[in-house]
A and B are shown apart, each in its own frame.
Chain A
Amino acid sequence: MIRFGKTRYLHLRAAEQDRSLTARELRFVQRYRGRNPECEIEDSLEEQGLDALRGLAVAEEADVPSFDRRVLRRWRVQSVKQTARYWTPALCGAAVAAIALLAMLQILSAAQGPKPLSTPGTEAQRSDRPTFPDLGGGIDSVRP
């Protein structure tokens, strides 16, 4: 079934939540509801839901005696954490650890350094024989 004026009705129903409708608008809404009884049922259900939602409001005064102290304590911790004095021991410890690590690595690398080339037969030796090939007759025999 096509409901004429449904868009206007929905618009007015939404507007009803924030402002009071004019007499003309109210007449239209009532007429529409009269023509469509299922809308009226749904609307009353919705109103019931919104009432239940509004009823969830926490009305009582939030009285938390230790709240202020806890916030201030956390504030002090936070403030101290922002100072260099708080971080100095940690930074010194980290620096000492880094130096110790570097020293250890240095010692280890020195102990496991490259071995000298002392395998027999692999050393370079001076030869007694001429290293150039003998071309037969020597350089003088070539001259005229």
Chain B
Amino acid sequence: MAEATLKSTHLTEAVHEELHWVHRCRTGDETALGVMIAKHRARLIRTATNILRDRHEAEDVAQESFLKAFRELPKLRDDRAFSGYLYRICVRLCMDRLRSRRAEPQEFDRIEPSAGPAVENKLVVEKLLGMLAPDLRTTLVLREIEQLSYEEVAEIMHVPLGTVRSRLHTARERFRKLWIDAMKETS
């Protein structure tokens, strides 16, 4: 009970602190901007890397996300929604990048046999992810890699819960088929 109360107090403090910094960000205070960047940077880069599978591109997207979020801060009605808003911008920018990527033919026979099964599987999975549509890929990554709940995925992708369910089902089915085909091809 006491632990729950303590946790709740910490949560409230964190929310108040976030509100304070967002409020200062609205005035263009660079210290506040720096605090917000330091606070959300790691999560944003990690998510973008998981979706894009490219660290440098992920950093670029994270930077753009911060700039866009700060620029559009006056449009944000509720300061409490800032982190979700930032995360949503990042995911949307990642999807834009995925859409603009040129579709390349996938080959599985280039993997070095000496690389080991774990590395081999990793490369195959990365290639398979590249073969999925951006919407399906992002949903699958957010759920399976980022371990977000259906509700969180729906909020971030700005789609209804039912859409998340159906996209996830389709993505898993496609991934399953591609994976089985790839395994048959490599063996």
Contact = CB atoms under 8 A, between A and B. Distances in A.
B81 interface: no
Given A14-B172, A57-B145, A78-B67, A52 B46 contact: no
Contact of A53 (B37, B71, B125, B183): B125
A118 to B, nearest CB: 68
Interface string A75-96: 1001100000000000000000
Nearest to B71: A78
B180 A45 contact: yes
B160 interface: no
Q: Give the interface residue-count category, chain A.
A: 20 to 34
Given A52-B121, A53-B144, A46 B62 contact: no
B148 to A, nearest CB: 12
B122 A52 contact: yes
B162 interface: no
Contact of B145 (A14, A56, A62, A71): A56
Interface in A41-77: 42, 45-46, 48-50, 52-58, 61-64, 67-68, 70-72, 74-75
Size class of the B contact interface (CB-based, 8 Å): 35 or more
A70 B144 CA distance: 31
A46 B125 contact: no
Interface stretch (B16-24, B27-35, B91-99): B27-35
A68 B34 contact: yes
Interface string B33-49: 11001100110011001
Interface string B127-150: 011000000000010001110001
A52 B125 contact: yes
A62 B34 contact: no
Given A53-B145, A79-B28, 5 more contacts: A49-B179, A53-B175, A67-B59, A68-B41, A72-B33
Interface of A: 14, 17-18, 42, 45-46, 48-50, 52-58, 61-64, 67-68, 70-72, 74-75, 78-79
